Each structure stands twice: as structure tokens, then as C-alpha cells.
A and B are shown apart, each in its own frame.
Chain A
Amino acid sequence: MEALLFNVSGGFLEGIVRGYKAGLLTQNQYNNLTQCETIEDFRTQLSATDYGNFLANEPLPISTSTISDKATQVLVDQFNYLRSNAVEPLSKFLEYMTYAYMIDNVILIITGTLHGRNTNELLQRCHPLGIFDTMPALCVATNVEELYHTVLVETPLAPYFRDSVTAADLDDLNIEIIRNTLYKAYLEDFDAFCQSLGGPTAEIMHRILAFEADRRAINITINSFGTQLSKEQRAKLFPTIGRLFPEGNNALARADDIEQVRQACEPVAEYRAFFDSGSGAGRPNGQGGSESTANLLGDLGVSDELGAAADLEDRFFVHEVHLNKLAFLQQFQYAVFYSYVKLKEQEIRSLTWIAECIAQNARDRIHDFIPTF
């Protein structure tokens, strides 16, 4: 059925997004970029790609944050083009994608205000895809309820927020809890929406969102070691759409150290590799291998744990990129829109990393980015 009717409203935009995808940097271009000596070389090299002359009018010297901003602007422009040309249900789908950025922005502003940052500065650091009208007013909120009643009630995030409204004051722990509650509600809602679309969209999006859910569950578990977060509270934050749900989630809720997390993830074959040492589906090079080995030996010093977490994060990214690439194998579905944005974000992260390495002259780590295609 999708093959029959999809192109009526979605064909044009699918074509556009596949065209955008063809413009993603290739391995060869990444290789060329890593050979650059200076940021100027970097710019010259990028001008030969799909980015074109996006930096041509910037006065020298160019900072890495400019590159990142401009590249993000490219993505935002593309996304807005897609969004303004989309009709239901694709427009709703694209809207759902922006909710994640909204959550990030809300948390960013609350945290920033809490630490006494300047509001305008915070607003500039917000992701442009997640900006909404009343966002600046977030900074007046002092507790969760106020937050909800003054600002969030009229945003799409309101239904996610409703569950987590308690009179609690805003502090770092609570903000983190709010973030994860919001995310849990968001992921579950998004997944439900994708399921309602049915067809390959539901299938592929479920695969991607399930991984996202599991990743969050694992991250929450690891990050909650040694904090005041009780195990019951922790269990409440786990999204219920992942592949670990329900046994894995329960096991994670009880976990006390990395080893138990590893055991909880054991039933899912793909996740097993994340905890393997050095080799396998890990990072592009063997960097950080020693830390992983240390973990296996049961030495859970704080620094090692952080190293392991960073390492794990990279592997998550690699796996996410892999899943997103798979989304392009099927036609007549909306997951390509999601995947494209995620891949482009990854690309921007990689570009920023390379540029940063060039700027700081840390050439030995320049290959630690995650290539997309």
C-alpha cells in the first residue's frame, strides 16, 4: 500500500532527503579533511563538498564554533525546507523530531538559570530546531510547578511534563530527573505515533527508538551510581519501549556496578559488543582499550569508569549511525527523515571534532570521529 500511495504526498520530500543524504561526507572526504594542516585548508577542502561556500564570507581566522554553527545552520535550513513542504502525517512526524531539541533547550535554560548564567547567552546556545516562542520566560521559574504552569503548559511538551509535576524545587538532581522523565515520555509517545503510522515507518522507527531507549536506560543506570537517586526512582525513569524491556530494565534497576549492567545487556546480542574490550564494533581505533580491560578486571576507579562511559558513548554513536544507515535501505517510509537529521548531526559533530583537533594541534586524536558513510 505504501508503494501505491506514499509518493502522492511524501515522494517529493523523500527524494529531497535522499538527495541531501547523498551530500553527506564520504570516507574519502573525511580522509582528506584529516590531512588538513590548518583551518583554512579545512575550509578549502569543505568547499569542494556539498557544504560549498558556506564559510566563504567569514573573515579569518575561523573558529571551530563558527564552523559548527554554520554547519548546523545548513542542517536547520534543510530541515525547515522539509518541514514547510510537508503535509500530514509527515509534518507531525517532523514536529515530533523537534520535541527532543525542545526538551534539551528547556533543560539547558533551567540549568543555566540555576547557575546564574545570562539568559541571552543561554538563548544563543539553544538548538535552533527546538526554539519555541515562550522559551525565554523559562528563566523566571523557580520550581517545577511554576515551570509547568507558566511556560510549558502551552508547548507540545506539556503532556510529557504533567506526570513529573511535583512541588519540588529545581536543583541539579531534579533537573536531571525531569529531563529523563520528559525523554521517557517523549520516546514512548513518539514510538506510539510511529506505530500508528504503521508499515515500514513503524518497523524502522521502532528499531531506532528502541535503541535510543535502551541507550538512555543504560546511561541513567551508569550515571546514577554513587548518587542519591534511589533504585525505585531510577526504575521509573527507564523508557519502556526498548529491547531490554522488561527483564533487562529490571536488571538495570537493580544494578550496582558496570559488571551488572553488562549482564543485564547480555540477552541482546548487539549490545553485548558494547561492553567487549577494545575490539569488535567499538571505536575506529583501539584508543581507550586499556580502560575497558581495567573494567573487566573489576577495577572500578572513578576515572576509569568515566573513561569507560565515554568509550561506551562512542560505541553507542557508532551503533546509532549504523541503525540510521539501515533506514535508507527501505523506501516509502518516514524514518529516512529522522535518520538523515541524526546522521547530519553526527557529521557536524565529526567535523567539529576534526576542526578542533586541527585547531589544538592534537593530530594523534584526529581519527577519533565517527564517520557516517
Chain B
Amino acid sequence: MGDEYPTLFRSEQMSLVQLIVPTEVAHDTIAELGELGNVQFKDLNPDVNPFQRSFVGEIRRIDEMARRVRFFASQVEKEKEPIPIRPLYDSAPLLTVGPRGAQTIDELDVKLAEHEARLTQMNESYQLLSERLRELVEARHVLRETAVFFEQAAVRETEARTSLDDSSAPLLQHDDREQQFSSGELQFDLEFVAGTIDRARLSTFERVLWRVLRGNLYMNYIDIQEPFVDPATGAETRKNVFIIFAHGDILLSKIRKIAESMGATIYPIDVNADKRADSMREVTGRLEDLQIVLYNTGANRRAELMTIGENLASWQDVVAKEKLIYETLNLLNYDVRRKTLIAEGWCPTRDIPQIQLALRHATEESGTNVPPILHELRTNRTPPTFHRTNKFTEGFQTIMDAYGVATYQEVNPGLFAVITFPFLFAVMFGDIGHGFIITIAAALMILFERNLGKADLGEIIGTFFFGRYIILLMGFFSIYTGFLYNDIFSKSLHLFHSGWDFREDYFNGTVGASNGHTYPFGIDPAWHGAENGLLFTNSYKMKMSIVLGVIHMTFAVCLQVPNHIRFKRFSDIYTNFIPQMIFLQSIFGYLVICIIYKWTVDWEKATTQPPSLLNMLISMVLSPGSVDPESQLYPGQSTVQVILLLLAGICVPWLLVTKPYLQWQEMKKIQGQGYIGLGADDAPRHTDDTTLEGEEEGNGRAIVEANDEEHEQHDFSEVVVHQVIHTIEFCLGCVSHTASYLRLWALSLAHAQLSEVLWDMTIAKVLGMSGLIGIIALILVGAMWLVLTIAILCVMEGLSAFLHALRLHWVEANSKHYEAGGYQFVPLSFARLNEKQ
């Protein structure tokens, strides 16, 4: 198999290989294999704690570097004006392999630490400065707002005076004290506290104050219009200026205490207008100075971030790769005495030469002359499933992998889905026009795939882009079935000479009459608009979907055979495949033959009425042996039907019994040969196996095991139960699955009707109009029609048809042959790393 061309028919043949890598080249070897992306490493120390593994120190160091890089990335992201990050393909690669690799990493570590220290310091000073700035801005606001308040108060001052004349002693004392440092102009007797507070807390603040001071306060507050932005987090806070008047030192100190604990900032404000003006000037002056300093600091910081942005992408890449390398190295078995690492892993057999080459390359790069040794191990463990796909087949294979990953070397339905999937889709989506639209869409995506592949398209568009080749084929097939149905945007094409003539009949209006022609391809356009047109297409499409369904299922059943041969289960061919085939063909195969036969008969010239095939099938099962001569399809029908029914009837016990019986016989044969007491013998052997396995995993020694059949514990009752379920599922499944294929008819009918309705409701209404109004209406309605065609008929209907095609493959076809018991091959690959990011 190894030298054959890679195929999708079966999964790639895999080998378990063992690598013996000298410690010096271990890092470079893994790096090389990661670039190659062909080896899936096994964990050789599953019992060892993650932090007790050999390379945990290195991982920790890389983690620390990764944290720094993340810190840079978040800083760069937070910067308001975007900082250019040089893309990876544009930056010089950092060589982490080869003799200087370790040194590069060391240097990078130091460099990152330096950058971090610098950036943190800058952030700190920036934050400190902006904090001071914020305080000054707040102070300015407080000054400004209180000034407004005082001015207002000054106007009303005289009135206030009279009311305060008979105030008590403390007030007067206080007045005196105030007088000492005020110039004795306009005076306020009340003391006050002014400051700023977070707007969200204002109401709580007010409430608490009110309660604490028992209402003995006068509070005024004004919103500050612009928000304050925290430089570190970028969060906005809105604040208010407040000024509170109250009596007495105790109360004031209480207010101050509460204000501070509520997160308010208090600013000393003087009652004197001149002093206020002074401090206002001072604050403004300091504000200007500070702004200059802040601007410089910000510019420095930005410059630093720019230098970081230059290299950020390559750092991220290196750190991610290094982490992956060391994590992989941790999976390996480390032999301290021999200074070697032992790796085990799966790789495709045909890629072993390539891997050998990579290993040699790694040795050369690292400058040592001890090459890593690779040799194949023989094993009885099931290898992972690996389908080699390209960008065309990838989408189709993903559809099948979503159902289940194929068992190793099983026939892969993904290969056939390349054709069957778009075809079944197109049966439901048959319209030349709509098919053309989606073909164009897919072709555009394929044309620009280089550019689109790099861009981040988002989840929805990304999914469509991923399936671009599926969509392309779906488009082609839709055009094809569109020709078959003779449908283009619900109209028909008149390519050839029609087989029908329409005459004005005196009694019946317009009637069609055959003119002897046969329309060479697809449905005759004459049916379009005929009164019984729907009746005809309905019957035609229904029968066609049954025919297609039975063919599809028969094909799926046939796919069992290569599996049985490959896995040497020859008995399964006649215990499973043959009875299943007979059962399916004797009932539904017969139905298909009847459908085709009925099409070939000219019922106008026949002696009997055309029979209903549905009733025929029902009466074939319910009342075998009796066929109404009025609706007989062909002579001798009842005998044929009884024989077929008997055949199908025989198949059920055949399916049910033969496989368990063979199994039982084999068991008896083994017992008859004197291997009695298998169970007792089996137990110690089994433990031997596990210890052997353990030894293999633990020490990684090459154990050449006999390539015997997998040691399966066949429990007889399990086989019986499995077979019973399988039989019931298959027999009932045949009926329901055949019926399920009628969705082909239903969806294609719905699609055709929907597009016809859309045409009739929009364009057909304005087509007859003439003059300027007619043209304008046609343009408007035409645009609407186009939008609705794309949105509803192409996208929505397309998704629905896609879904049903998916179901027909997963349920109706896959259940006939697909075991899907494998596990995916996940190689160590740097390419995947980038995908994840």
C-alpha cells in the first residue's frame, strides 16, 4: 500500500514509530517535525504529574515570556490610536533552532523582561501623572462651579444677612476667625466642604449625609460634563462637583470622613473670591505644565509601544512554537543516563522517508553529528484515522467527519460525498438561474481565496468560505438539474422543438396534442403553464426521488463489501451483505423496476387502467397473492410478488440468526479442540498483556509483538443482542429511509413553487405596464425581486436543501455501512497553531 498514490477511499496507512533522540538535538528535532506536521506523539509518561516532567522549567520560562507578550499585546490594543503591528510574514524570522537557538531564546527573554520593566515604569509614571492631572482638572471644576455658586449667593447676600443676624455665639466666633485671614469683603458665615464624587454614588452619599446630620445641611451639586478616563483600563467615570454647607467642626469633620470613605475627593476652597481666583490661576498654570509633561511621557510610551509593535508578531509566534515544542518534549521519555529522549508516535507510513529527511536536516542544522534514530514498531493497537485532503476535498471530508471519524482503513464515505452530496442537493435546488448565482458566488470566493483566506471573515462568512468548493459543485449540479426540470427563475427554456401542440378546441378550450416529437433533454416546456403541469411534475419528481433513493441506499449497502474484505470478515458478506441486499431489492428494488416499467408503457393504448404503485406495494405486503386484474401492471404479477415477498421474509431470520450461529459454532470448535477453561487461562494472559503494555509505555523499549488478530473478548450474548438490534434497524430502516428520500421531491417542489410565487407577486405584475412608469416600476420591482431571490431562494432555501442533503448522507446512507469508530490523527504541527490563533 505504501507506494500507492494517496487516496481518499481509505484512510492513510499509519505506523507506530519510535524516535531515539540525543538530548542535544531534541529541541531542533521536534521543531523540525512540528514544521513538517506529520507525527502525532504519544504521551509516554501518563503517570507523571505535569509539574514533575523533565522540561517543566523551560515551560515555565516560556509561560513567563508568553505572559509578557500578552501584556504587550493588551497594551498595544488599548492604545487609542492603533499602533501598527508588523505582520509575521513581513518580519525577519527569529531562529530558535540550530546551535545558536538557545542563545536566541535567552536574549529574547532578557529583551522581553527589559521591555516589560520599561513599559511598566512608563505606565506607572503615566498613571501617576494622569492621576495628578485628574486631580487638578477636578480642582479646576470645583473652583469654577463653586465660584458660580458664590456669585449667585453674593447677589442674595443682603437678604441672607438679615436672616442670619440673630445667630448664636459659635457662628460669631467663627465669623471672627474667618475675619483673620479674609480681607473683610463679602463674607459667608457658613463653613463648607467642596469636592468631587462619582456620579453613581452621589445619591447614596446625599442620603447618608442627610441621616448623619439629621438634615442640617445644605448641599449643592453640579454635573461635570466631560467624563474622566482611567489611563490604565480605559474605563470612563463621570463625576459631580458638590459643595456642602453645615455648622460646626464636628459635623464638618464627619462630612469629610464620610466623603473620604465614599471615595470622594475634597478640595480646600477659600471663601474669599480673590484667593479663589489665585488658586484658580495656580491650578491652571500647573495644569498646563503637567499636560506638557504628560504629553511627553505619553509620546515616549507610544514610541516604546511602536518598537514593541515591530516585533510583537514574531515574538508571539516564537513563544507559541517554543511552548508547543517543550510541551511535546514533556511527552517523551527522558533517559538521564543515556542522554537520550525516546519518543513514540503515529505517522503515515508513506511519510517516513520525509520524516527521516527532516531528522537528518535537524541534525545538520544543530551542528552535531549524532542523528536521531527512527524505527518502526509493530503494534496491535488501532492507529488513528488520517485522510489526506486537499483544499477541494477538505470540505466534503469535514462533512463526514462531523458525523463520525472513520474507523482505521474503513471505506470513507467522504470520497463519494464529493459527487453524491452536491447531486442530492441539486435535486432539491434544481433551477438554472439560482444554480448560476451560487456558482458565481463560489467562483468568486475561489478566485479571491488567497486574499480571503488571510482575512478574518467572522464565523458565518468563514463557514461559507470554508465550503466554497462544495458550493461550487452544488452550483454546477443545480444548473444541470435545472436543465432537467427546465426551470430558470421559475420560467422554462424553449431550447428544442416541443412535443406538444396546442389547439383551440371548441368544447374544451385549449388542449395539447402530441405531435410525435420527443423532447430530447429535460421536461418539455409545454408542461409549463399547462393545467395539469403540477400534477405531472409532482408524480415525476416523486418517482424520481424514490428511484434515486433506492440507488443511493443500494450503493451504500455495497460499500460494506470492501470493508468486509479488508478486515477479513468474509462471513459477514453472506451473513450481512447478501441478505440485506436481497431484502432491499426484493421490495424497493422491485418498486423501482415497476416505476420505470410504468413509464415505458403507453397507457392510452393499454387495455388496463394505470395502476397506483403505492397501493400495489401496500397490497403486495398486506394481501399477498391477490392482484386486482383491473389494475394489473403485467401478467403474472401476483406470483412474482409472492416470490419476492417470500425472499424478503427469509432474509429477516437469515440476518437474525446466521451471524450469532457462526460465532457460536466457532466457539464450540475452539472448545472441541481442547481449549476448555479459556476463561481461567485468559485471566493471567490478560494481565501479562497489560504489564507488557505498561512496560512498553513506561520504558519505550521496542517490543516486537506478533501481528496477530486483535484480541477481542467476544461475549456471545453481546453478539446476539447486537445482531438483533442491527436486523430490526435495517428492516425498519429500509422502509422509513425510502420514505425519507421523498424529501427530495418535497423540497424541489417547494423550491419551484416558491420561485414561481415570487415571480408572480413581483415582476409579473409590472411586466405589462408601459411607458415611463412601467420602466421605473420594473426597475424597482426587479431590484426587489433580485434581493428576495438571493436572500430567500438562494441562501435560505439553499441552506435548507443543504441540511436535507446532509441528513440523507448521515442517516440514510451512512447507517448502511459506516462504522465511524476511529479517532482523528492530530499531528504536532505549527500550522495548526496559527490556525487556532
Contacts and interface: CB of A to CB of B under 8 A. Distances in A.
Interface stretch (B126-134, B159-167, B175-183, B256-264): B256-264
A123 B201 CA distance: 15
B212 A45 contact: no
Interface in B616-664: none
A136 B207 CA distance: 13
A32 interface: yes
A36 B51 contact: yes
B261 A139 contact: yes
Contacts of A45: 49-51
Contacts of A139: 257, 261
Interface string A43-56: 01100100000001
A48 B604 CA distance: 78
Contact of A153 (B70, B201, B211, B257): B211
A32 B49 contact: yes
Given A35-B49, A44-B51, 13 more contacts: A45-B49, A56-B63, A56-B67, A57-B67, A57-B70, A59-B67, A133-B201, A134-B208, A136-B261, A140-B254, A140-B261, A150-B208, A151-B211
Contacts of B71: 57
A14 B261 CA distance: 38
B204 interface: yes
A303 B64 CA distance: 46
Given A32-B49, A44-B51, A56-B67, A119 B261 contact: yes
Interface in A1-57: 32, 35-36, 40-41, 44-45, 48, 56-57
A128 B597 CA distance: 80
Interface in A117-157: 119-120, 123, 133-134, 136-137, 139-140, 149-151, 153-154
Contacts of A151: 208, 211
Interface string B43-58: 0000001110000100
B238 interface: no
B51 A137 contact: no
B211 A149 contact: yes
B60 interface: yes
Given A59-B67, A154-B207, A136 B49 contact: no
Contacts of B60: 40, 44
Looking at chain A's contact residues, the main secondary structure is helix
Contacts of B207: 134, 154
A365 B246 CA distance: 58
B63 to A, nearest CB: 8
Nearest to B200: A133
Contacts of B204: 133-134
A137 B258 contact: yes
A362 interface: no
B258 A44 contact: no
A60 B67 CA distance: 10
Interface residues of B, number: 23
The CB with the most chain B CB atoms within 10 A, among A119, A120, A133, A151, is that of A133
Contacts of B49: 32, 35, 45
Nearest to B56: A44
Nearest to A42: B51
Contacts of B263: 136
Interface of A: 32, 35-36, 40-41, 44-45, 48, 56-57, 59-60, 119-120, 123, 133-134, 136-137, 139-140, 149-151, 153-154
B113 to A, nearest CB: 11
The CB with the most chain A CB atoms within 10 A, among B63, B201, B263, is that of B63
Interface in B64-114: 64, 67, 70-71
A145 to B, nearest CB: 12
16 contacts: A36-B51, A44-B60, A45-B49, A119-B261, A123-B261, A133-B201, A134-B207, A137-B258, A137-B262, A139-B257, A140-B212, A150-B208, A150-B211, A150-B212, A151-B211, A153-B211
B65 to A, nearest CB: 12
B67 A41 contact: no
Contacts of B64: 60
The CB with the most chain A CB atoms within 10 A, among B51, B63, B64, B211, is that of B51
Interface in B214-266: 254, 257-258, 260-263
Contacts of A134: 204, 207-208
Q: List the 9 closest A-B pairs by CB distance, nearest first.
A: A136-B261, A41-B51, A137-B208, A133-B204, A119-B261, A44-B51, A150-B212, A150-B211, A136-B262
Contacts of A120: 261
Contacts of A48: 50
Contacts of A119: 257, 260-261
Contacts of B262: 136-137
Contacts of B211: 149-151, 153
B57 to A, nearest CB: 10
A372 to B, nearest CB: 21
A137 B211 CA distance: 11
Nearest to A32: B49
Contacts of B67: 56-57, 59
B256 to A, nearest CB: 10
Contacts of B70: 57
B201 A140 contact: no
Contacts of A35: 49
Contacts of A153: 211
A140 B51 CA distance: 51
Contacts of B208: 134, 137, 150-151
B281 to A, nearest CB: 32
Contact of B50 (A44, A133, A140): A44
Contacts of A56: 63, 67
The CB with the most chain B CB atoms within 10 A, among A44, A139, A149, A151, is that of A44
A119 B262 CA distance: 10
A52 B71 CA distance: 18
Contacts of B260: 119
A124 to B, nearest CB: 12
Contacts of A136: 258, 261-263
Nearest to B201: A133
A137 B207 CA distance: 11
A150 B205 CA distance: 11
B264 to A, nearest CB: 10
